[in-house]
Amino acid sequence: MPQSELMSEGEQMMKVCNACRYCEGFCAVWPAMEFRRTFKASELTYLANLCHNCSECYYACQYAPPHEWGVNAPRTFARIRAESYQQFAWPKALASAFRANALVVSLVSALMLVLFLFGATRGLGSKSLSAAVPGGDFYQIAPHEVLVVSFGLVALFAALALLIGLVRFWRHSGEQVSDLLNPPTLLTAVKDVLRLKYLDGGGWGCAYPEEKSSQSRRWFHHFTFYGFLLCFAATTLGFIYYYGLGLKGPYGYTSLPVVLGVLGGIGLLIGPAGLYFLQLGRNRDITDEDQHGMDMAFTLMLVLTSASGLLLLALRETAAMGGLLVVHLGIVMALFLTLPYGKFVHGLYRSAALVKYALERSRKKTLGE
């Protein structure tokens, strides 16, 4: 659907919704809508990213199909979100990676696997990849400096791309960059993010994967989110151990980086797997089919990351270690490379939208007119 047509569909929908307002208690989108009387593209983009896709409003809606107005807020917002991901992508040339995301993720993963396999075999020379390494010291296969430099550069690039996207989104929504870090509203938004307040549907959860309200999506998302954070913490701690304390890895099973990593890995296994299966049972009348591949690719990549990481840890003293290491590193590298061009960005834009919502509430005045 061309962008102008999509925005006009969104505008018409908002005129119906703003005259009805019966969904007010479900989430932040509706009170944010009520601050407005006009719905320009920038406002629709903000509202669409504020939408957590819980779908409660669709089942409640009197104007949903088969009504002649066919109001389908979850689908319309999902399409507008997809547009916005491309719109704010940096560098622009890579925006199209959003459109064929599953394909891009597959190709990048394959490429990374080949690259790491090639690198490892070259580095090992005459030694076999499947020979057990004493103490599970994977640095003998992938030297520490190589990992730090390669992952460091990719992580920096991903962080820069995400940051630029975030700033673009924020400016496009009509806000000043300085207001993004306004402490009281930032705190409110952080609380909303950490609690996933708006997947709660006012206490009943959300209509996901189908009509019956449930907290399952919220919990699986919590597993994913906190699992990701723990893994991030484990990696950061490993970095500090190595460079700050001079402790060379690999660390023991009871060391803090490993414990955090294991806990995070378990979360990152249960969460994305749960989300994946919920998504499979989703009511397709309200999804944007074009994003299905991207959603699935991201959750699968997270599952593969944690599964390969946990396996690697468990089998690090066996002959399987070399092969698992190559697989794990390849997947993690592909995950990082594709982070700014896939489902991951939803977290940034939604968090920013929640900051804007908190700002708007604190300003408590009608915008638009």
Q: Which of 184, 124, 232, 209 is nearest to 361 (CA)?
A: 184
Q: Which of 316, 363, 349, 367 is nearest to 49 (CA)?
A: 349
Query: For residues 133 and 206, which CB has a smaller minimum distance to other proteins in the complex?
Result: 206
DSSP one-letter code for 213:
E
Query: For residues 68 and 289, which CB has a smaller minimum distance to other proteins in the complex?
Result: 68
CB of 23 to other proteins, least distance (A): 6
Query: For residues 36 and 346, which CB has a smaller minimum distance to other proteins in the complex?
Result: 36
Interacting residues with other proteins (CB under 8 A): 15-16, 18-26, 31, 34, 37, 56-57, 59-63, 67-68, 202, 204, 211-212, 366, 369
Query: For residues 179 and 285, which CB has a smaller minimum distance to other proteins in the complex?
Result: 285
Q: Residue 263 has which token pair?
A: 């806990």
Query: For residues 27 and 89, which CB has a smaller minimum distance to other proteins in the complex?
Result: 27
Residue-wise over 183-199: b if at least 16 C-beta within 10 A, else e?
A: eebbebbeebbeebbbb
CB of 299 to other proteins, least distance (A): 28
CB of 269 to other proteins, least distance (A): 33
Query: For residues 191 and 212, which CB has a smaller minimum distance to other proteins in the complex?
Result: 212
Q: Are 188 and 358 in contact (CB under 8 A)?
A: yes
Query: For residues 204 and 232, which CB has a smaller minimum distance to other proteins in the complex?
Result: 204
CB of 27 to other proteins, least distance (A): 11
Phi-psi sector, 107: left (phi>0), alpha (psi -120 to 50), beta: alpha
Specify the amino acid at residue 307. Answer: A
Query: For residues 50 and 105, which CB has a smaller minimum distance to other proteins in the complex?
Result: 50
What is the residue whose two structure tokens read 């597959």? Answer: 106
CA-based radius of gyration for the chain: 22
Show the CA angle centred on residue 66, arms to residues 60 and 68, nearest 5°: 105
CB of 31 to other proteins, least distance (A): 8
CB of 34 to other proteins, least distance (A): 6
CB of 364 to other proteins, least distance (A): 12
CB of 51 to other proteins, least distance (A): 15
Supply the DSSP string of 67-134, one letter for each residue.
STT---HHHHHHHHHHHHHHHT-SSGGGGGGGTTHHHHHHHHHHHHHHHHHHHHHHHHTTS-TTS--G
Q: Residue 107 has which token pair?
A: 């190709």
Q: Are 355 and 189 in contact (CB under 8 A)?
A: yes
CB of 4 to other proteins, least distance (A): 19
Q: Are 278 and 218 in contact (CB under 8 A)?
A: no
Supply the DSSP string of 178-211, one letter for each residue.
GGGG-HHHHHHHHHHHHHTGGGSGGGT-EE-SSS
Query: For residues 209 and 293, which CB has a smaller minimum distance to other proteins in the complex?
Result: 209
DSSP one-letter code for 214:
E
Q: Reduce the DSSP state of residue 40 to 3 states and report it.
A: coil
Specify the amino acid at residue 102. Answer: A
Specify the amino acid at residue 269. Answer: L
Residues, the chain:
369
